[in-house]
Structure 1
Amino acid sequence: MAYAARRSAQAVAVAVLAATAFLFLSTGPAAAHGFTSVAYVDLTSPEKGHVRAVLALEYDLLVVSAADAGQDDPLFQQGDAAFKDGDPAEQAAALQAHADSVTDYVTERFGISADGDECAAVRVGDFTMTERDGVPYAQIVLDHSCPVSAVAHDVRSELFPDSEGYVRGTKTIVTYDLDLRTGSAALDATQPSFSTDQSWTERFWEFFRLGAEHLLTGLDHILFLLALIAGSRRLREVVLGATAFTLAHSVTLILAALGIVRVSPSFVEPMIALSIAVVAGWHLWRLLRRGTHATDLVTVGDSHVSLDRAGWTRLAVVFCFGLVHGLGFASALGIDQAWSWTLLWSLVVFNVGIEAVQLVLIASVFPLLALLRHRSPVLASWTTGTIAAFVSAMGLIWFVERVV
C-alpha cells in the first residue's frame, strides 16, 4: 500500500511538472519588443464618401519592410542611418524622400472598402514622427474615396506579416468614428478585417481574444501566475491573488490607455521581470525556513477570506506588482484616446479575456498540486520548490537583461 501511494504521488508530481513545462513551451517569448509590433489606425469621416485614416507605424520596421517590398535599397540606407541618429526630423525626411515606396507598401497592406468596392487611397501631407513607449513611430495620413451611398465600411490590415520575417504576430489596433458608429477593433493574421456594421458580440470576441492571446503568448505573465500558484497554500489564496492581480492591472491599464499615467518601458519591463523573481522567491524562502510546514495556514477570524498575516502580506505584494503588469498590458493593447464608454468596454472585455485564461490555468494546475500535497507533502515541497526556483531564476535573468 505504501509503495502504491508513493507511486501515485510521484505520478501526480510528474503531472504537475509536465503541466508547467507545457505552459512554458506553449507560450511566446517574454521579451515581446523586437519580436512583435503594433500598428495603430484612427478612422474618421469628414464627409460622406470620405474616410480619413491616420496610421502610426513603427519607424524602423516600416523602413525595412517598405525597402524590401519595393526593392528600394536607398530607402533602407537613408532610413536606417536616420534611425541610428535618433533625429525625428531626419527620419521623417528619409520617408519623404522615398514617399512612393512607403505609400505603396502601406496601401497594399491596409485598405478600406464599401459595398464590395475598394476605396481609392491617396496620401495627404508629409510624413510626421511621434513616439510610443520610447519607440519612434511614423505617421501617414490616407484619404479614401468611397461610395457616398455606403452604409458600412470594411477595414483590412495585413501590415508587417509574419512572412516578411522581421516580426511575428503583428496586431493592428483600429479606433473608428464612421457610419454613425464608434468603436475599436483588433486585427491580426487570424482576423485581418472587420466591418463597422459588426455586432456587439463580434466586438466582444475581438477584445476577449486579444486579452486571452496576450496572456497566453506572454511568457513573463504566465510564469508570474505559475509562481503565484506554486506558492499558494489554499485555493482561496490563489483565487484571491489572481483577483488582486486582475484588479490592479485593470486600474493601471485604464489609466495608461487614457493617457493619464505614462511610465517608460525601461522601468516597466525590468519591474515585471523582478516581480516574477520576487513572487517565486517568496515561496522558496518559506520552504527554506519551514520545510514541509511552509503550506501551514493560521486562519484569523471566521470570514470566508481567512488569510493569515503572511497571506495578507503576499496579497498586497501581488497587488502592487499587478499595477506594474497593467502598464505592460496597456502597451500591448495600444489604445491611447480620450474617455469614452466604447473605450471602457474594450478595456473591460480585454481584461475579461485575461481573467478567463488565468482561471483556466489555475483550474488546470492547482488541483494537481493540492492532490500532491495531500498524498506526499515532502514530494510536493520538492515539486513546488523546483518550479519556484526555475521561475525565480528566469525572472532574475530577464531583470538583468532588461536593465542592461
Structure 2
Amino acid sequence: MITHRELFLKNVAQTSDFPLALEIEKAEGVYMYGKDGKQYMDLISGIGVSNVGHRHPKVVEAIKNQVDKYLHLMVYGEYVQSPQVELAEALVKTLIPKVENIQPLDNVYFTNSGTEAVEGAMKLAKRFTGRQEIISCFNAYHGATQGALSLSGSENFKRNFRPLLPEIRNIRHGVMEDLAFITEKTAAIIIEIVGGEAGVRIPSKEYFLALRKRCDETKTLLILDEIQSGFGRTGTFWAFEQFEIYPDVLLCAKGMGGGMPIGAFIANHEVMAVFKNNPILGHITTFGGHPVSAASSLATLKVILEENLLDAVKAKAALFKSLLVHEKIKEVRNQGLMMAVEFEDFDTLKPIIDRAIEKGVVTDWFLFCDNSMRIAPPLIITEEEIRKACEVILESV
C-alpha cells in the first residue's frame, strides 16, 4: 500500500529536492507529533505563524464557534460579517498613535496571506500618490507573487522569472546615506523593521526616525512589513513601537492567524478610499478576511494581550542567548523572540539543523543568510522548554 510520504513526493508539488518531509499527525502548544508518536519541539512556529502555539484552546474554540455559524458568504467588502468587523476594531485599537498630530491607521483591508497584503499595498501606494517607483531593500523578502517578487533584494530568486515590475529600486537596509534615493518620484518604500530573511538585522532608532522624516519630506508612503515581526514576536505587539515611528501603511499576516491563513494591509481612511473609484472595486478578493480565519485571528490577538505574552518575551530571549554559547556560534542576533544564531557557513549549519530535528527540535535557516539558524518559537514556550531546546542544539553542534 502506498504511504502518505510516497503520495506527498508523488502528487504534492515540491519546492526543493530536499523537503523535510516530516509526517505530522498532531500538534499542540510548542510540540508536533509524528506518525510514530515522536515529539518535535517547534522552534520556528511554522515560520513565524504559531505565535500562541499550535491549537491554542481559545483559538480552536473560536474556530469551532464560527464554523457553526457560517463560512464564506460573499466576496470581500460586501456583507457585514461580525468576525471581520470585530477583528478590524481590535487591530485598530493596537495602532493608536502615541503622539498627537498623526493620522491613525484605522482602515483594514483583509487578505489571505502576507504576499497578498504586499500586492494590495503596492497598488494602494501607486494609486494614492500617482507615482510608479517603489523602493525596497537588498536581502528583503516580501513574498513570491510577481509583484512582491519584484521587490526582492535577491537577484538569485528573480532572474528566471523576469520580466518583473519596472521602477523598483533596492537600497541597503539600515544604511542612512541610502535614504537619499527616496525622492518626489517615489510612491512608497516598503521595509521590514527587523530584516527577517536577511538573518534578523536591526537598524538603529535613528535610522528609522530619519526614514520617517525623509518620507514626510518627499510625500512618500512608508509601508512597514511586519508580516514576521508583528503580533508580539519582538516583545511589543508591533515591532515599530520600539523605534518611535508610525507608518502610513502596515502589513501583517503569519502570526496574525493563530494557524489559519489571513493577512492585512492597514492604512487610514483617506489613503484607503482611493480603491473606491477610478476604477470602482480598485482592489478585490474572494476569500480575504474569511470569517473562520478572522475569528481565529481575533482570538489570537486576545490571547496575546489577555495572557500577557508580551511581558515575558525579553526574558525568554535573554535565556536563549545566555545558553547558546559555543565556540562554533559566532553571534546570536535578536529582536525579542525573532532570533538568528550565526555559524561559519551553511555547510557547518545544515548538519546541525538535521541532527537537532533527529533529536526532536525543529529549527531552520534564512533565505538570504544561510549560515544562521532561525529561532522563533511560540511565545508560550516555557523556561524549561527553552533549556531543553538549547541543550539539544548544543548537542547537535
Shorter chain as normaliser: what TM range?
Answer: under 0.3
Which structure has greater helix proportion? 1
Q: TM-score, normalised by structure 1?
A: 0.26
* TM-score, normalised by the number of residues in structure 2: 0.26
Computing the radius of gyration from Cα coordinates, the structure with the larger value is 1
